[in-house]
Amino acid sequence: MTISLTRRNMLALAGACALVGFTAMPARAEDASAFLKQFADRLIGVVNGPGDAASKRQQLQPIIDGDVDVVGIARFCLARAWSTATPAQQQTYVQLFHQVLLNNISGHLGEYKGVSYTIGGTQPQGDSVVVASVITRPNAPPANVSWVIGNANGAQKILDVIAEGTSLRIQQRADYTSYLHRHDNNVAALNAALQRQISGS
């Protein structure tokens, strides 16, 4: 079974959905906007730059790993099943999730060639800050994307992405929860499905 990481290709630009719960300190609006600009500039530099898909995937990995709470994404999306999984299953799951995430992002890069963005206003959300943006790419209508930015494990990270009103982390958790429900909440089965998805990509 193939498990999609997103409903929209916007995840290719967004880079992640993430865990809001592991925040360490409140984020400030100006810091969040500056962080997003730096992240977006680096990401778009790869998207619009030279190189094939494999080389761009290599360039993307440190950006995603550094600026997105990937482990938090994985834990949130596994929901209650995280606590029932063995340590070995948890480790395998996080590794597979990371690979699937990068594959999904790099696999859609060609669709975002020529992309640009504008940053809008900010709004506090608990210990996080939501930063609005508009994503523009050739031959496609502008897309409204909001970024939830806060502190995870002492570092500023992207904690969630809301594409056209849809929280990608919540949708992914729903997809995984549905899959696990159909497979007796067996995390090993989910890991096997993720491995098949990676092998087939």
- The CATH code of domain 10-200 reads 3.10.450.710
φ and ψ at 62, to 5 degrees? -65, -25
- pLDDT at position 29, please? 82
d(CA 189, CA 156): 33
Q: Give the pairing type, strands 155-163 and 143-152.
A: antiparallel
d(CA 14, CA 162): 9
d(CA 170, CA 100): 17
d(CA 170, CA 184): 21
Question: SS3 for 30?
Answer: helix
**Tokens of residue 92, six digits:** 């395998």
φ and ψ at 193, to 5 degrees? -65, -40
Residue type, 26: P
pLDDT in tens, the chain (201 residues): 544 444 444 444 444 333 333 333 345 788 899 999 999 999 999 988 888 888 988 999 999 999 999 999 899 999 999 999 999 999 999 999 999 989 888 877 777 888 899 999 999 988 899 999 999 988 889 999 999 998 888 889 998 899 988 998 999 999 999 999 999 999 999 999 999 999 885
d(CA 125, CA 26): 9
Longest dimension (CA), the chain: 47
- pLDDT at position 8, please? 43
d(CA 33, CA 171): 25
